[in-house]
Amino acid sequence: MVADCEVDESAVPVLTESPDRAPHRTLRDNDLVMNTVPVPRSLLLWLFACGTLAPALFDAVYLVEGATRPGYDAWRQAISTLMEGLGGWVQQADFVVLGLFTLGVAVVWRRILEGGVCATWYPVIRGIEGLSLVVIGFSLTDPLHTLWLFMMIGARMAGLFVIARGFWREPNWRGWVVYSIVSAVLINVFIALFGVLQHTPFAAGVLERVATNIEPFWSLIVFARLWNRVPFMVDRLSPAPAARSRSGTQA
């Protein structure tokens, strides 16, 4: 009986780690265990260009426009006020360009999250944000302008809540759950204060600018951590440990 239970070790596949691949962690999604690896630098460069440089360019344009536009008070007035009057096309184009780059962010995050948690909803929400920015650039009158403005702000908050769930499933990123949720809440707080104080002598314009830069700053910090090769992207080039274990048992 003992002889019948012996296993031919030569028939059992030996699993080896490829020497040129970075060490990876495991991401558990219920019963599924997935390997995670660092995000390729090529994708990160696109993420930096679309998610950090583009918002910085947007800020630079409205700051210059606000400083040179006669009668404009950046302390109290909204950014979209620069879309009105002579030269308003500059700020309109600023919104449209930022929207197009944000659509690019959605594509990059789709590549990064493919096969993992939030792979569908987070890119979709970022896409809604980008589309909203493009439409804002062409919407000079209410209620359409306000509608798409709320769509954009809502997408930014929802996106942070959704990606927080993805961080929770990854042990190396769980500390970022709180940061993402707090960022989403702060966007809501600052944009609400902007709405309340918009027609008062207080710094409503500053509050709006703070609210609209919370997510780009979050993106910059996340990019820096990803650039440091912290595993996050699902490894689609090799089977998950659980799957390999089952295949070894079947063999």
Handedness of CA 119, 123, 128, 131 (dihedral sign): negative
pTM: 0.80
Asked if pLDDT for residue 128 goes beyond 60, the answer is yes
* pLDDT, tens only, 21-44: 444 444 444 444 468 889 999 999
User: How does pLDDT run across 154-164, given as a tens digit for each residue?
Assistant: 999 999 999 99
Domain boundaries along the sequence of the chain: 38-228
Show Cβ contacts of residue 101 under 8 Å, excluding neighbours closer than 6 positions. Answer: 49, 50, 51, 54, 130
Contact 133, 79 (CB under 8 A): no
User: Nearest to residue 103, comparing CAs of 68, 135, 128?
Assistant: 128
Q: Is the pLDDT of residue 243 over 50?
A: no
pLDDT in the model for residue 235: 73
Q: How far is CA 9 from CA 5, 18, 54, 251, in A?
A: 12, 22, 57, 11
Phi and psi at 27, nearest 5°, equal -115, 115
Which of the two residues, 9 and 73, has the higher pLDDT score? Answer: 73
Note whether 69 and 82 are within 8 A (CB). Answer: yes
Q: Are strands 32-37 and 233-234 parallel, antiparallel or unpaired?
A: antiparallel
Cα torsion 192, 205, 157, 168: sign? negative
Segment 82-103 mean pLDDT: 95
User: Which three-class secondary structure string do you get for 17-32?
Assistant: CCCCCCCCEEEEECCE
- Chain Cα centroid distance, residue 215: 8
What is the distance, to the nearest Å, from the Cα of residue 105 to the centroid of all Cα atoms in its chain?
7
Nearest to 65 by CA among 38, 37, 84: 84
Alpha helices by DSSP H, 114-251:
121-138, 144-169, 175-197, 204-227, 241-250
Highest mean pLDDT among 34-48, 73-87, 121-135, 197-211: 121-135
34: three-class secondary structure by DSSP: strand
Tokens coding 33: 């265990």
